[in-house]
Amino acid sequence: MGQGASETATFTQALASLKRTGSNILLVGAAGDAQHGACSRLLGDESEAPRERLLVSVGATAVDERIQDGTTVIEYEQETRSAAASASPAADSGPEPARYQTVTDLASLGREMEAAITEATRRPGGLEPAQLRVCVDSLRPLLEEHGEEPTFHFLHGITREIEAARGMGHFHLPVSYDDSAVRTLVPLFDAVIEVRTRGDGREQRWHLREAGLVTDWLPL
């Protein structure tokens, strides 16, 4: 059944509120084109407004194609990875980020993310709502390495920092919506977006926690 006019209005108002006040979104569903498509939209188009972007690559996730001028990149490397796998991108591989930091433990990752967010808020004139965009891709290696409780506490601090900066953060978790990890982490997020690929198309379904609203599957 399609959404009625009142549900559509509620959804539109809720999205506007997320952009205005700061928000954090959990992005779930199988890894692939649908997740990348949703990520690109959540990071925002530079033509819409200047952005401050923070990309966090966890577990060797490739983020090169999402790096734009001035993007800050933090790479979390699991200690079991080889030195060859942990090499930084070549200087001519694309736009040079403002900062490129590599960390190997959860506490350092939290500190570097907080430092990057603080630095972004100090730009002349401050930040407009939703000007800061943060992407963490993905949470799965953190959950596998540290477990749900330490990952929850890490995310609790980071999501509060993003919201305080009135930014928009999204966190990839390539599992189904009914996965136990989603149930554990969902209280930290303002919304959960499910994504999927259907034939040649990509679709999304939003779960807005405060509004208590679940949308239909919508084109992505």
Q: Give 42's pLDDT tier (boundaries 50, 70, 90).
A: very high
Mean predicted confidence (pLDDT) in 29-57: 88
pLDDT of residue 41: 92
Q: What gap in Å lies between CA 45 and CA 68, rounded to an integer? A: 10
Mean predicted confidence (pLDDT) in 13-22: 95
Secondary structure letter of residue 92 according to DSSP: T
Rounded to 5 degrees, what are φ and ψ at 207? -115, 105
Q: Is the CB of residue 29 less than 8 Å from the CB of residue 194?
A: yes
Mean predicted confidence (pLDDT) in 64-72: 79
Domain ranges of the chain: 22-219
How many helices (H) and strands (E) the chain has is answered by 6, 10
- The model's pTM: 0.89
Instruction: Give the three-class secondary structure for 143.
Output: helix
pLDDT tens digits for range 169-180: 999 999 999 999
Mean predicted confidence (pLDDT) in 32-55: 87
Mean predicted confidence (pLDDT) in 105-125: 95
Q: Of all helices (H) and strands (E), which one includes residue 184?
A: helix 180-185
pLDDT of residue 59: 82
pLDDT of residue 87: 41
Q: What sign results for the dihedral spanned by CA atoms 103, 109, 112, 116?
A: positive
Which amino acid is it at 191?
A: A
* Angstrom distances, CA of residue 67 to CA of 10, 40, 158, 173: 33, 11, 21, 20
Q: What gap in Å lies between CA 117 and CA 55, rounded to an integer? A: 11
CATH for 22-219 is 3.40.50.300
Is the pLDDT at 116 greater than 80? The verdict is yes
Pairing of strands 132-137, 99-103: unpaired
Is the pLDDT at 95 greater than 60? The verdict is no
Q: Give 98's pLDDT tier (boundaries 50, 70, 90).
A: low
* Angstrom distances, CA of residue 173 to CA of 19, 41, 218: 21, 17, 20
- Residue that is written with structure tokens 């919201």 in the block: 163
Q: Give 82's pLDDT tier (boundaries 50, 70, 90).
A: very low
Mean pLDDT computed over every residue of the chain: 88
pLDDT of residue 63: 75
Rounded to 5 degrees, what are φ and ψ at 67? -80, 125
pLDDT tens digits for range 20-39: 999 999 999 998 889 999 99
pLDDT tens digits for range 179-218: 999 999 999 999 999 999 998 899 999 999 988 999 999 9
